[in-house]
Structure 1
């Protein structure tokens, strides 16, 4: 007699797939952190112009999500459903990322803007192709709640490693190529980051060899072909997706804003750019230890509950960081302590919980409506998330322009720049966490209901299940 258990992943499959988020984040972190400085230094663009470019392309990113989500759910090849998109997406985004940072100039400001927008837009298409699979392919890697938490904990760990690596090594590469005002350094840094992205993508493709096969989709074939109009129904009735969007999109505004202000934060507030690589690296080690400890907390209390608690901590402590950092902004030890505590408090609101919760929303859709559409669920989330979070780049541009910022080279340090950057860096993310508290209050998949849903799906025997001998 056989029993049914949820689809499980091997250790190698968990380890390999966990690199996909870090792969895409390698280029995203670099763009969020350096693009504004790159454009103001190489092209003499205003911060407002750069912010508007980033906002516009972010909206394009959102628009491409629903189309790509539908195409993923319709994909049926010998190479699988997800692997073609990961491979093509990583190559397109890596190549366009390098071209974007080569410093090509047309001879006119308008021509330079057009060129940057075109290259950025091509990058967005490739980036979306790969990121959509981070959210949707996890549904065929494993259906075990605990394994999804571990999977995305590893994903978060590699993202933290990439974040620290980029902040610690990119600036020296730029300086070795002649500094902020010379295109050679930016190009070399872009090649270096693109290599990281593609190598990680190869790990992911290898890990999906046994999972991304057609027999894993047969039992969940669609009774209807997914169409764009189906997104309206998904948004209207999937409360788990709705509340996750409220929480996560506001957090993304915070994350993107902080990334966009990292260089100016260390220049105007900390006043020591050498610490830009040291502080995040040490904080990363602390975060990795805390992150794996938090797996047990999430397992015991539930993802939604931990997300809410960490959002409360992020809101309160985010505001407290303003006076705390101002007490001794140039002290490496003090910065490590203050910023590490902030990361520990909000660890539950990062990708460790977020991506798993997108998978949970896909489970919830199948549970309620019998539709296995992980590609659509993942990109439905991304669509709204990106439209809302696109505001952060414009916000950064207007904040810096309002304070008189032109470029790091031309704008000297001053009390006005110090307090503008510090308050924006800490207070706006705190408001994002406040919105997350509201979103988690009305999220349906509290621990008891979530476990009930998984149990009923297991009893149905037709969703991500297999016979156990």
Structure 2
């Protein structure tokens, strides 16, 4: 391939762009903690709304996402203004979230308790407005990758930087929240706690958003918008359902993304871990943190391995390989949990009265859990950069450039699954006769081991199996993506030189039909 053609077909990002743009995910994850982790507590304990109402409303609002997300995606696809396609949604979305949360956490507690109807209305209305802003910004993380880079060697790096950005936003908030809560009587149930935490989170999210906007600034321009660039045809809302129905790779990726997300959300659920390490093993304080540190430490080599595999063989190969590793390791975890309770030897033990106290059961658990957790944590966000591949495939298939609808549809699945995980845990706990979610200090209840086995092992394993089945027919291999990028580049150059998009689509359909300079 000639240098000119190569430069035209491969859009590479600079290192600072790869590092900064994923901070958009960190910016939205600040609100993930600020809102989704605490809003039910705020509603029930601060505003004195019904506990059931506050919890169910947050879950039920996901049904509204099924309507609003595609509309926002369509709006993004039709945007091509002075400030680009993605930057306006990132900035506006962040400002919408900031304004709605400042009012929600700062002003609604001032509504007198004699006007409870106003508290209910403000709680629902402001949360709905926040959801709109959240969708505005979070969908850009997925759809913006299409302009950032199409280099098969760079896109896998997005997974690493995305995880770093996510941990930066979420981790700092999780660290600060308990520190701030200690300064108020009532802790998380104090209105003062929320009035303090909200501005801290908002400032941090704005800073991360600005950095992310800088990261995508140079790339957010029409020459990177699919084949047509400024001439890109506007897609009618009525066409979206047909497009998604015919984009088979996207359908399979949505299943895979739901599977990996569901496995991570349920297995990492606080209630599940409290039952495992606290109620069953009787040593939550001595097991939870060491096991989490173990899992994160084991994920580091898998992040490196997954990126290298993606660069050599494509993201499909990497996802299936390491999900398979997780599935195999959790067979061992499952066996160990089935053996729990058959004697003192079948029990997790790290520290005893006289210091270190580790048995064979614990060694095997550390081995299987550490490797399994490291493998699946490294793959949990891997479907995100694959959304960009599906968007490029749609451009290749139909000539349509619709990263917005692709990003919001995947975001919708992500949010639905995240909400579903809490519901699944709650329902599972009721089967053993518990009215409240158990904490680390609650005693063991008969049947709790079965619930842990199902939630900690069985459901994640089924989700990973579904991921592997979905990926089996996923056609966007590393080699296929190289062909797609070459064909798209040839068509784009032809359209830029005056050829009609329909003619370019008809003339070049496979890599064999391309001029020699576009072939790898």
1:404 aligns with 2:411: no
| Aligned mates of 1:182, 1:458 — CA distance in 2 | 57
Structure 1 residues 289 and 316 mapped into 2: Cα distance closer, same or farther (>3 Å)?
closer
Q: Does the alignment pair 1:434 with 2:465?
A: yes
**1:253-312 deviation line (CA, Å, top 9, x unaligned):** 3344456x3267347743646976776466445534531342112212321122122233
C-alpha deviations, 1:83-141, integer Å up to 9, x for none?
11101111222343455556837638776554433232121101100011111111111
Question: Is the 1:314–1:342 Cα contact (8 Å) retained in structure 2?
Answer: yes
Aligned 8 A contact 2:74 2:405 in 1: yes
- Is 2:256–2:383's contact at 8 Å kept on the other side of the alignment? no
Instruction: Decide whether aligned partners of structure 1 residues 293 and 314 sit closer, same or farther in structure 2, where only a CA change above 3 A counts.
Output: closer
Tell me which residue corresponds to 1:146.
153
CA distance in 2, matches of 1:163, 1:419: 30
Moved more, 327-336 or 246-255: 327-336
How big is the alpha-carbon RMSD for the aligned residues of Structure 1 and Structure 2?
3.8
Shift of 1:215: 4.4
Residue-pair matches, total: 465
Q: Give the aligned partner of residue 376 of structure 2.
A: 346
Bigger shift: residues 451-460 or 437-446: 451-460
Q: Distance in 2 between matches of 1:321 and 1:112?
A: 47
Alpha-carbon distance change, 267 to 395 in structure 1, aligned in 2, over 3 angstroms:
closer
Unaligned stretches of 5+ in structure 1? none
Does the CA contact (< 8 Å) of 1:48 and 1:397 recur in 2?
Answer: no
State TM-score, norm by structure 1. Answer: 0.84
Q: CA deviation at 1:205?
A: 1.1
CA distance in 2, matches of 1:345, 1:441: 19
Greater length-normalized contact order (CA 8 Å, ≥ 6 residues apart): 1
Asked whether 1:70 is paired with 2:74, we answer yes
> Is 1:51–1:393's contact at 8 Å kept on the other side of the alignment?
no
- Alignment partners' CA distance in 2, 1:106 and 1:323: 55
Q: Distance in 2 between matches of 1:336 and 1:169?
A: 30
Q: Could you report, residue by residue, the CA deviation over 1:19-51 in whole angstroms, capped at 9, with x for unpaired residues?
A: 112221232255454455555655677776455
CA contact (8 A) 1:32 1:256 kept: no
Q: 1:10-25 counterparts in 2 under 5 A?
A: 10-25=14-29
User: How much has 1:319 moved relative to structure 2?
Assistant: 5.6
Q: Deviations over 1:193-248 (max 9, x none)?
A: 33332211110112222222344448434654222212111111111101001111
Q: Hey, what does 1:300 align to over in structure 2?
A: 312
Greater Rg, structure 1 or structure 2? 2
Distance 1:338 1:172 in 2: 34
CA 1:122 to 1:337, structure 2 compared with 1: closer, same or farther past 3 Å? farther
Counterpart CA distance in 2 for 1:344 and 1:276 is 16
TM-score by length of 2: 0.77
Aligned to 1:229: 238
Counterpart check, 1:415 vs 2:441: no
- Deviation for aligned residue 1:160: 3.2
Consecutive unaligned residues in structure 2, runs of 5 or more: 341-345, 352-357, 497-516
Distance between the aligned counterparts of 1:341 and 1:98, measured in 2?
42
1:392 alignment partner, one of 421, 426, 435? 421
